Copies of this chain bind each other. A is one copy, B any other.
Amino acid sequence: MNRLNIGLIGYGTVGQGVIKMLRTRENFIRNKFNTEFTIKAICDRSIHQKNTRGLAKTNLTTNYLEVINDPEINVVIELVGGMHPSYEIIGGALRSGKHVVTANKELLAQKGEELFTEAKKKNKAIYFESSVGAGVPIIKMITEGLAGNKFNAIYGIINGTCNFILTEMTKNNWTFSQALKEAQARGYAERNPALDVNGIDTAHKLSILVFLALGKSIKLNDIYIEGITHISHVDIEHAESLGLSIKLLAIAKRVKNQIEVRVQPTLIAKDHPLASVNGIFNAILIDTDPLGDILLYGQGAGQMAAASGVVSDLINLAARNNSPSTIMVGNLFQDISTFKLREIDQIKTKFYLRFMAIDKPGVLAKITGILGEHGIGIASVTQKESKKSSTVPVVMLTDLATESMVRLSLQQITRLSVVKSKPVAIRMEKL
Contact among B148, B276, B299 with A273 in the assembled complex (CB-CB below 8 Å): B276
Does A248 belong to the interface (CB within 8 Å)? Answer: no
Number of copies: 2
Interfacial chain B residues near A140, Cβ < 8 Å: 140-141, 144-145
The residue of chain B having its C-beta at the shortest distance from the C-beta of A25 within the complex is B148
What residues of B have a CB within 8 angstroms of the CB of A293 in the complex? 298-299
Considering the chains assembled together, what is the distance between the CA atoms of A28 and B149 in angstroms?
9
| A148 B291 Cβ-Cβ under 8 A | no
Is the CB–CB distance between B304 and A215 below 8 Å? Answer: no
Which residues of chain B come closer than 8 Å to A21, judged between CB atoms? Answer: 148, 290
In the complex, chain B residues whose CB is within 8 Å of the CB of A273: 273, 276, 297
Is A292 part of the contact surface with B, judged by Cβ < 8 Å? yes
Cβ contacts under 8 Å, A145 to chain B: 129, 137, 140-141, 145, 312
Interface size on A, residues (CB 8 A): 58
Chain B: CB-nearest residue to A329: B319
Question: In the complex, which of the residues B147, B296, B297 contacts A316, with contact meaning CB atoms closer than 8 Å?
Answer: B147
Q: Name which of A29-37, A405-413, A421-429 contacts chain B.
A: A29-37
In the assembled complex, the CB of A133 is this many whole angstroms from the nearest CB of chain B, namely 10
Q: A28, A291, A328 — which one has the most chain B CB atoms within 10 A of its CB? A: A291
Residues in B whose Cβ lies below 8 Å from that of A33: 147, 329-330
A295 within 8 A of B: yes
| A397 at the binding interface (Cβ < 8 Å) | no
Q: Which residues of B contact A298 (CB under 8 A)?
A: 291-295
A291–B320 CB distance below 8 A = no
Which of chain A's residues 137-186 have a Cβ closer than 8 Å to chain B? Answer: 137, 140-141, 144-150
A346 CB within 8 Å of chain B: no
Is A271's CB within 8 Å of the partner chain B? yes
1/0 per residue, CB under 8 A from B, across A384-410: the answer is 000000000000000000000000000
B147 & A312 in contact (Cβ 8 Å cutoff):
yes
Nearest CB in chain B to that of A276: its residue = B273
Residues of B within 8 A of A330 (CB): 32-33, 315
Partner of A299, one of B129, B291, B304, B336: B291
CB-CB under 8 A from A323, the residues of chain B are 320, 322-323, 326
Does A268 interact with chain B (Cβ within 8 Å)?
A: no
CB-nearest residue of chain B to A292: B299
Asked if A332 is at the interface of the complex by the 8 Å CB criterion, the answer is yes
Residues of B contacting A290 in the complex (Cβ-Cβ under 8 angstroms): 21, 304-305, 307-308
Bits for A275-308, please: 1 = Cβ < 8 Å to B, else 0.
0100000000000101111111111000011011
Q: How far is the CA of A215 from the CA of B129 in the complex (A)?
A: 24
Distance in angstroms from A269 CB to nearest chain B CB is 12
**Any B CB within 8 A of the CB of A135:** yes
Residues of chain B within 8 A of A321, CB atoms compared: 326
Query: B332 near A326 (CB under 8 angstroms)?
Result: no
Q: What 0/1 pattern do residues 115 to 138 of A give for CB contact below 8 A with B?
A: 000000000000001000011110
CB distance from A79 to the nearest CB of B (A): 16
Task: Please report the C-alpha to C-alpha distance between residue A292 and residue B300 in the assembled complex, in whole angstroms.
Answer: 10
Q: Is the CB of A215 within 8 A of B32?
A: yes
Interface residue ranges, A against B (CB under 8 Å):
2, 21, 25, 28-29, 31-33, 129, 134-137, 140-141, 144-150, 215, 271, 273, 276, 288, 290-299, 304-305, 307-308, 311-312, 314-316, 319-323, 325-326, 328-330, 332, 336
